[in-house]
Amino acid sequence: MKRSTFGRRVTVALVTAGLSLTACSSAGDTAGGTAAPFAVWDPYPQFDASSEWVKVIEKCGTEAGVAVERQAYDTSDLTNKVLLAAQQGTAPNVLVVDNPVVSTLAEGGVLKANQDTGLDASQASPNLVAAGEVDGKAYGVPIGANTLALYYNKAVLAQAGVDPASLTDWASLDAALAKVVGAGKKGITFSAIGTEEGSFQFLPWFWGAGAQLTDLSSTQAVAAVELWKSWLDKRYAPNSVVGNTQTTSWQEFATGEYAFAENGTWQLGNAAKLGFEHGVIPIPSRDGGVAPGPTGGEFVTVPVQGAADREATAAKIAGCLTDADTVAATDSALTYVSAIPSVQEQQVAERPELKVWVDAVQAAKGRTGDGRGTRYPRISQPLWTAVQAVLTGSKPAAEALKDAQTAAASAK
Amino acid sequence: MFRKNLVGWAFLVPLVAYLLLCYGYPLLTTVDLSIRDYTVRTFVHGGAQVIGLANYGDVFADPVFRTALLNTVVFTVASLVFQYGIGLALALFFSRRFRLSATLRALFLVPWLLPLIVSASTWAWMFNSEAGVVNAALAWFGLDGVNWLTSPDWSLVSVIVANTWIGIPFNLVVLYSGLRNIPAEVHEAAALDGASSWQAFRHVTFPMLRPVSAVTLLLGLVYTLKVFDIIWIMTRGGPGGSSTTLATWSYELGFGSMLPRFGPSSAVGNVLILMAVVAGLVYVRSQRHREAS
C-alpha cells in the first residue's frame, strides 16, 4: 500500500516535470537535415499557397529536380529569423530578402556570393544589383524593384489650376503647393517617422538636392531638410507627417483632401481603388529633372549551407525565380518594376502608366550601394533623427545635420 | 527518510526545470550577450570577443541613455500615480454597491481585455494631429489643436495617458477586492466614534489597504517599466527620442535597424531588469520590516 503511494507520487511528479519540459522546448527543430526539401523563405505573407508566386516556386523546384517548401514571414521579422536560423545551422536554401539587408547578411557570412554558386545577376540593371554588392562581390539577384514618386489628385490640382506636367523642380512644386493650399485644399503628405521608412522617404529630396550620404551636413542636405520644414511651417504638409508611416500617409491621401502624396510602387493596387482620379509624377530634383530615389524591393539569395551541391541547386532555383521568363508574372503580382530592362519595356507596353515608375527605378540608387554596405544603417539612423529634430523645431537644420554627421562618422 | 526526500525532490524537479529552462537560461544568455562584442558575423558563427563591461560603458555614455532613463522614470511614476489614484477612487466608488455597479465595474475591465495593439492604435488615431477626435473636440471648444504624438513636448504625455487608461482596470480589480476584505465592523466602529468619511478613509481604510496597495504598486511598477508595445505603436519612441524609454531603446538597438547591435541592446535590457529587481528587494525589505514591527 505504502509502496504504491510512493510510486504514484514519483510518477505524478515526473510526469509533471516531463510536461513542463516539453512546454518549454516548444516547437522548432523541424528544419535542417540534409535530406530535407529545399526551404524557400520570402517576405510575402500576402500570397497564399494558391497564388501565382507559390506556383512559380514549385515550378522552379521541379525544374531543379527537388522538392521545395515555402515559408512566408513578415518582412520586419525575416532578418532576425534568418540570423537565428543561420546561428542554429538551419538557414533556408533560398532566401528572398529586402535589398538593404543583403549586405548585412553577406558581411555576416550568411550568404554565398554569386560567383561561388553560379547565380547570374547580369540580366538585371546594374543600379539595382549594386545594393547587394559587398567588397566587389555580388550577392543575390533583385526580383524586382520599387521606388518613390508623387501621386497626385487630379481634381484637386485642376481646381487649383496646377498643371502636373509643369512640376519639374522644387520651385515649381513649391508654387503648386501654395496654389493648392490657397484654394482651400491640403498640400502634400509623406512619412517622416523615426525609422528606416523616414530616411527612405527623405532620400529623394536629399539626393535630389545633390547631397551625398558621405556628408550629412552639406549645404545641399540642409536645403533638403529646410524644404520639408518650410512645408510644415507654411501648412503645405500636415504635422502628422512626423509620425506617419507610409501606410498612414497613404490613408491621408486617400481621403481626397490632399494634392500630393509621396509613396511607392507598391501602392499602385490601392491607387486603383481610390475614389478619385489620380496620376503620378516623378519626384523633381532641386534644379530640375528626376530626383534619384532609393531602390526598394527584394533580392533572391542563396544562404550558406556548407554543402556545395545543395548550394548549386539552390542557385538554380534562385536563377529560375529571377529569370526573365518567370519574373514578369511575379513582378506584376507584387506591382514591382522588373529589374530586367527587357521586361521593363514589356511592362510599359502592357501598362503605359508604368512608364513613370520605370523611369524612377532607372534613376534610383541603392541605399547600401557605393560600397556603403553595413555602414548605411549607421548613417540612416542619425539622418532620420536629424530630420525629426528639424521638423519638430527642436533644432535648426544646420545644427541637427552637423550632429547627425558627427554621430554617423563616429559609429563603428 | 531517504525515500521521503526522494519524493520531495521529485516534486521539486518540475519547478526547478521550469525555472532553469525558461528563466535561468534566457537571463544568462542576456548577460552573456551584453559582455561580448557581437557583430552579425560573430552572432552567426560564434567567437564574439568578451569585452567585459564596455557595452555598458557605451550605453551609459550615450546621450540617449539620460533621456531614456529620465523618460522611464517619469513614465513609470506618472503612470503609477494616476493608475493607482484613479483605480482607488473607482474601487471606493464601486465598494458602495449600488444598482448596476457590477455591470459598470465589468465595463471598466474592457481596456484590460483588449489586445494592446488595438488599444494603442486606437489611441494613436484619437491623438492624430490632423484627423484625431481629441483635437476635433478641442476645436469644438474653440481651442487650438495639440500635436499630441508629433511634438517633443507632448509625446510622453500622450503615451502616459494611454498607459494609465490601460492600467486602471488592474488597479481597480485588486484594490476593490482589498476593500472587500476589510471587515465591516471596523468601519462601523469608526462611524460610532464619530469619524467623518474622510477621516475613516484616511485613518482606517487606507492603512488597512496598505499591504494590497504595496503589491498593486509593485506589480504595476514591474509592468510599467517594461511597457514597450504602447509606446512603439504610438510614437516609435519619437519624435526625436522624446518618448524613448529604456524598453523601447533596447528594442531599437537590437531589432529596430537593419544592423542589430545585440551587445548594447541586452546591456540596456539588463539595466531594466536590475531596476525591477531593486524595486522588488525594497518591497521584500519593507514587508519584513512591517512583519517584524
Shortest CA distance from B41: residue in chain A: A108
User: Sorting pLDDT into bands at 50, 70 and 90, what band is A26?
Assistant: very low
Interatomic CA distance for residues A142 and A128, integer angstroms: 7
Total domains present in chain B: 1
> What pLDDT digit, counting tens, does each position of B62-102 carry?
888 999 999 999 999 999 999 999 999 999 998 887 888 88
Q: What percent of chain A has pLDDT over 90?
A: 72
Q: What is the mean pLDDT of residues B39-61?
A: 88
Contact of A20 with chain B, judged by CB distance below 8 Å, is answered with yes
User: Sorting pLDDT into bands at 50, 70 and 90, what band is A6?
Assistant: low
Contacts of A381 in chain B (CB under 8 A): 257
How does the average pLDDT of chain A come out, rounded? 89
Q: What is the mean pLDDT of residues B20-34?
A: 92
Q: Which residue has the higher pLDDT, B250 or A14?
A: B250
Domain at A38-145+296-363, CATH homologous superfamily: Periplasmic binding protein-like II (3.40.190.10)
Q: What percent of chain A has pLDDT over 70?
A: 91
Identify the weakest region by mean pLDDT among A84-98, A379-393, B250-264: B250-264
Say yes or no for a CB contact (<8 Å) between A196 and B257.
Answer: yes
The three grid cell numbers given for residue A329, joined into one nine-digit string: 508574372
pLDDT of residue B130: 83
Contacts of B10 in chain A (CB under 8 A): 9-10, 13-14, 17
> What pLDDT digit, counting tens, does each position of A330-340 carry?
998 888 999 99
Interatomic CA distance for residues A381 and A198, integer angstroms: 9
For the whole model, what pTM was predicted? 0.84
Shortest CA distance from A11: residue in chain B: B10
Q: What is the mean pLDDT of residues A37-41?
A: 94
Task: Tell me if B12 is assigned to some domain.
Answer: no
pLDDT of residue A31: 40
> What pLDDT digit, counting tens, does each position of A294-317 carry?
999 999 999 999 888 999 999 999
> Domain A148-294+372-410: which topology?
D-Maltodextrin-Binding Protein; domain 2 (3.40.190)
User: Sorting pLDDT into bands at 50, 70 and 90, what band is B129?
Assistant: confident
User: Sorting pLDDT into bands at 50, 70 and 90, what band is A372?
Assistant: confident
Contact of A263 with chain B, judged by CB distance below 8 Å, is answered with no
Is the confidence at residue B126, as pLDDT, over 90? yes
Chain-centroid distance, C-alpha B46: 35
How does the average pLDDT of chain B come out, rounded? 90
Q: A 76-105 residues with CB below 8 A of B?
A: 79-80, 83, 86-87, 100-101, 104-105
Nearest to B258 among A25, A104, A391 (CB): A104
Q: Tell me phi and psi for residue A377, to 5 degrees.
A: -60, -30
Domains of chain A: which residue ranges?
Answer: 38-145+296-363, 148-294+372-410
Is the confidence at residue B141, as pLDDT, over 70? yes
In angstroms, what separates the C-alpha of A347 from chain B's closest C-alpha? Answer: 31
Looking up residue B250, the CATH number of its domain turns out to be: 1.10.3720.10
Contact of B11 with chain A, judged by CB distance below 8 Å, is answered with yes
Q: What is the mean pLDDT of residues A229-233?
A: 96
User: Sorting pLDDT into bands at 50, 70 and 90, what band is A16?
Assistant: very low
Q: What is the mean pLDDT of residues A247-251?
A: 92
Say yes or no for a CB contact (<8 Å) between A242 and B238.
Answer: yes
User: Sorting pLDDT into bands at 50, 70 and 90, what band is A65?
Assistant: very high
Q: A 178-217 residues with CB below 8 A of B?
A: 193-196
Contact of A166 with chain B, judged by CB distance below 8 Å, is answered with no
Interatomic CA distance for residues A303 and A102, integer angstroms: 11
pLDDT of residue A8: 57
CA angle (A279 as vertex; A255, A200 as ends), nearest 5: 75
Nearest to B258 among A240, A255, A377 (CB): A377
SS3 assignment for chain A: CHHHHHHHHHHHHHHHHHHHHHHHHCCCCCCCCCCCCEEEEECCCCCCCCCHHHHHHHHHHHHHCCCEEEEECCHHHHHHHHHHHHHCCCCCCEEEEEHHHHHHHHHCCCECCHHHHCCCCCCCCHHHHHHHEECCEECCEECCEECEEEEEEHHHHHHHCCCHHHCCCHHHHHHHHHHHHHCCCEEEECCCCCCHHHHHHHHHHHHHCCCECCECCCHHHHHHHHHHHHHHHCCCCCHHHHCCCHHHHHHHHHCCCEEEEEEEHHHHHHHCCCCCCEEEECCECCCCCECCCECECEEEECECCCCHHHHHHHHHHHHHHCCHHHHHHHHHHHCCECCCHHHHHHHHHHCHHHHHHHHHHHHCECCCCCCCHHHHHHHHHHHHHHHHHHHCCCCCHHHHHHHHHHHHHHCC
Q: What is the mean pLDDT of residues A145-152?
A: 95
Is the confidence at residue B3, as pLDDT, over 80? no
Say yes or no for a CB contact (<8 Å) between A13 and B129.
Answer: no
Nearest to B128 among A79, A240, A378 (CB): A240
DSSP B146-197: --TTTSTTTHHHHHHHHHHHHHHHHHHHHHHHHHHTS-HHHHHHHHHTT--H
Contact between A174 and A234 under an 8 Å Cβ cutoff? The reply is no
User: Sorting pLDDT into bands at 50, 70 and 90, what band is A55?
Assistant: very high
Task: Tell me if B49 is assigned to some domain.
Answer: no
Contacts of B18 in chain A (CB under 8 A): 20, 24
Q: What is the mean pLDDT of residues A52-63?
A: 93
User: Which residue segment(s) compose the domain that B276 sits in?
Assistant: 63-292
> What pLDDT digit, counting tens, does each position of A168-187 carry?
999 999 999 999 999 999 99
Contact between B230 and B166 under an 8 Å Cβ cutoff? The reply is yes
Q: Which residue has the higher pLDDT, A32 or A238?
A: A238
Contact of B287 with chain A, judged by CB distance below 8 Å, is answered with no
> Which site among A84, A90, A104, A384 would you substitute to test the B interface, given the most B Cβ atoms closer than 10 Å to its Cβ?
A104
Contacts of A107 in chain B (CB under 8 A): 40-41
User: Sorting pLDDT into bands at 50, 70 and 90, what band is A325?
Assistant: confident
pLDDT of residue A27: 38
Contacts of B131 in chain A (CB under 8 A): 240, 252, 255
pLDDT of residue A5: 56
- Interface A–B counts its CB contacts (< 8 A) at 127
Shortest CA distance from A392: residue in chain B: B151
Is the confidence at residue A375, as pLDDT, over 80? yes
> Which site among B40, B45, B133, B144 would you substitute to test the A interface, given the most A Cβ atoms closer than 10 Å to its Cβ?
B40
